[in-house]
Amino acid sequence: MEIRTIVHYAALAYFTYIFGYAGLFKVIKKTSMMESMKSLGFNETWTLVIGYAEVLGVMGLIAGLFVPHLKNASVLFLLPFAIGAFTSHMAHHEFNHYYNSLIVCVLPFVILFTDKDFRLAL
What was the pLDDT predicted at 30? 95
The mean per-residue pLDDT over the stretch 102-111 comes to: 95
pLDDT at 66: 94
> What predicted TM-score, i.e. pTM, was given to this entire model?
0.91
Q: Residue-wise over 24-59: b if at least 16 C-beta within 10 A, else e?
A: ebbbeeeeebbebbeebebeeeebbebbebbbebbe
Q: What is the dihedral of CA 27, 67, 77, 99, to 10 degrees?
A: 70
Mean pLDDT along residues 32-47: 91
Q: For the segment 67-95, what is each residue's pLDDT rounded down to a tens digit?
A: 988 999 999 999 999 999 999 888 887 77
